Amino acid sequence: MNLFAFFHDKSNGNLKFIFLTLKIKVKPSSTIDRQWIEQIVREIVQNRIGSPSELVRNRAAPELIVSISARHVHLSQEHVEILFGTGSKLTKMKDLYQDGFFAAEETVMVVGPRKRMLPTVRILGPTRPETQVELAFTDSISLGINPPVRESGQLQETPGCVLVGPKGVVELKRGVIRAERHVHMSPDEAKYYGVQVKDRMSLKIHSPCPTTFENVLVRVGEGIKLEVHLDTDEGNACDLEHATKIELVRD
């Protein structure tokens, strides 16, 4: 008997169609076992084009971008209007690497306990449901605040601060964090690395100050480009500017 198998392979980014013709001799009185036939087909296909996991692993590595995220503020629309005036909206200064996100022209003063302050902290857009301030460890020391390391948006039991704009003042009861280092990626890139949302990876920096950052949080989303975010302390510690090689691997 003849069997015809049809497959499509998108492992290298291009759609490739594969047709296989299988000739199997069976006795006229034999009963064909469907599972047996399917097993034969799978073995032949794997010998020809490899298993799905091997196809993914053999793809060319996606372009990896590592960005240093300096201290910044995400504002709610309510707080934008308090700080900059009724009806105000954020003014785009430049686009960020991720589509739809931008650095705004506007800045605010961040004031901590004992009146310590950071005078011009950049605002990133678009607006969010809740205002959030992201600092590096050295920024926190300067302000006299001890924020926890948190995933963005996880603001429970975080300290607050005071934000000062040209038109008003906002006293935050919570919202100051040290952003947990993380990697953004698309679903296809997650398949390439063999990871899922909330998994952890390691980032290996080969530089004059070689460093491995462990427990890099994986964040996956449609339309997202592969990008690791480190804060300024982490970027300076590994001398990212003079890195010669960067590797992202599963923990």
- Mean pLDDT along residues 213-230: 97
pLDDT-derived band at 110, boundaries 50, 70, 90: very high
Residue 234 contacts residue 183 (beta carbons within 8 Å): no
List CB contacts of 74: < 8 A, sequence separation 6 or more: 123, 124, 127, 128, 131, 132, 133, 134
Do the beta carbons of residue 154 and residue 174 sit within 8 Å?
no
- pLDDT at res. 23: 54
pLDDT of residue 58: 55
Tens-digit pLDDT profile for residues 5-49: 444 444 444 444 444 455 555 555 555 566 766 676 666 656 555
177 closest CA partner among 194, 153, 195, 198:
153
Residue 177 CA to residue 175 CA, distance in Å, equals 6
Look at residue 15 in the predicted model and tell me its pLDDT: 43
> How large is the average pLDDT for residues 178-206?
97
Using the structure block, give the residue that is written with the tokens 């308090």: 82
Range from 34-43, 137-146, 194-203, 210-219 carrying the lowest mean pLDDT: 34-43
Q: Does the bond joining 147 to the residue before it have cis omega, within 30 degrees of 0? A: no
Nearest to 37 by CA among 70, 69, 83, 5: 5
Predicted confidence at residue 60, as pLDDT, reads: 75
Give the model's pLDDT for residue 7: 47
* Token pair belonging to 5: 């198998």
Give the pair of three-digit tokens for residue 152: 């963005």
For 177, half-sphere exposure in the C-beta direction (CA atoms, 13 angstrom radius) is 18
- Set out the domains of the chain in order of their start, with CATH numbers: 2-57 (no CATH), 70-179 (no CATH), 181-250 (2.40.40.20)
The per-residue pLDDT for 50 is 52
The answer to whether 213 touches 165, Cβ cutoff 8 Å, is: no
Question: To the nearest whole number, what is the mean pLDDT of the chain?
Answer: 86
| Residue found under tokens 């198998």 | 5
- Choose among 42, 19, 21: nearest CA to 34: 42
Region 126-152: mean pLDDT is 97
**Residue 180: DSSP 8-state:** P
Backbone phi, psi, residue 210, to 5°: -60, 135
Task: Quote the pLDDT of residue 19.
Answer: 46
Residue 251: pLDDT band with limits 50, 70, 90: confident
Residue 30: what pLDDT?
Answer: 54
Q: Indicate the pairing of strand 65-69 with strand 227-231.
A: parallel
